Amino acid sequence: MNSKKFNMSHLPSEDKRPLEGEYKKTVLLLYGLSNIGKSTLADLLLNDNFNYISIDRACIEASIEPIKSFVEEGGVPLRYGLGRLFKFMNDVCVNEFMDYFFTKYLVENENLNIFIEGFVFMLERSRNIFMQKCINAGYRVWTIRREL
């Protein structure tokens, strides 16, 4: 709340809303195209109140058979084939992946505030399934879409 030009730390504490509340957890979801600065923005926004998770990295490391086979058979370094991997996951096993991701990285996460960033949520089907899981679980989600 402070900067060199503006000091807003003098605001009364009742003006500050806690991240916790009637929701079980708070999820900050940052998504956008590849190489658009999501990780850079995440670095600027992160603080000790949030647990950071890269959904793209979680997808690459997922122990789900169709994804594992795609990665092993792809022959293209993942750095250059991520878009293809994410489209494959979105088309072939999105429900299975989202069940895995949601359980492992949100439900089993002891943190109440979770910051997730990645390209995968540019895919509407993946994003919609994830958002519905959050609603069903009673999680609050704030979304930020990075665009140029």
Residue ranges making up the domain that contains 31: 25-146
**CB of 53 within 8 A of CB of 114?**
yes
Q: Which helix (H) or strand (E) holds 145?
A: strand 139-146
State residue 93's pLDDT score: 96
Angle between helices 124-137 and 78-92 (to 10 degrees): 60
Total domains in the fold of the chain: 1
73 vs 109, higher pLDDT: 109
Evaluate whether residue 50 is within a structural domain: yes
Strand partners, 30: 117, 144
**How far, in Å, CA of 12 to CA of 64, rounded?**
49
| 82 inside domain | yes
Domain for residue 98, yes or no?
A: yes
Q: Identify the helix (H) or strand (E) that includes residue 116.
A: strand 113-118
Task: Give me the mean pLDDT over the 97-110 stretch.
Answer: 95
In a domain, 37, yes or no: yes
Whether residue 111 lies inside any domain: the answer is yes
Lowest mean pLDDT among 75-79, 111-115, 117-121: 75-79
Q: Are 146 and 36 in contact (CB under 8 A)?
A: yes
CATH number at residue 93: 3.40.50.300
Question: pLDDT digit string (tens) for 18-46?
Answer: 555 678 898 888 887 777 766 776 666 76
In a domain, 15, yes or no: no
- How many angstroms separate the CA atoms of 62 and 50, rounded? 22
Q: What is the pLDDT of residue 1?
A: 42
State the Cα–Cα distance between residues 100 and 62, nearest whole angstrom: 8
**Is the pLDDT assigned to residue 106 strictly greater than 90?**
yes
> How far, in Å, CA of 139 to CA of 136, rounded?
8
For the chain, where are the alpha helices, taking DSSP H only?
38-45, 55-60, 65-74, 78-92, 94-102, 124-137
Domain-embedded: residue 5: no
pLDDT, tens digit, 9 for 90 and up, residues 48-96: 778 889 898 898 888 899 998 888 887 555 666 788 888 999 999 999 9
Rounded to whole angstroms, the maximal C-alpha distance in the chain is: 57
Whether 73 is covered by a domain: the verdict is: yes
Task: Return the pLDDT at 13.
Answer: 57
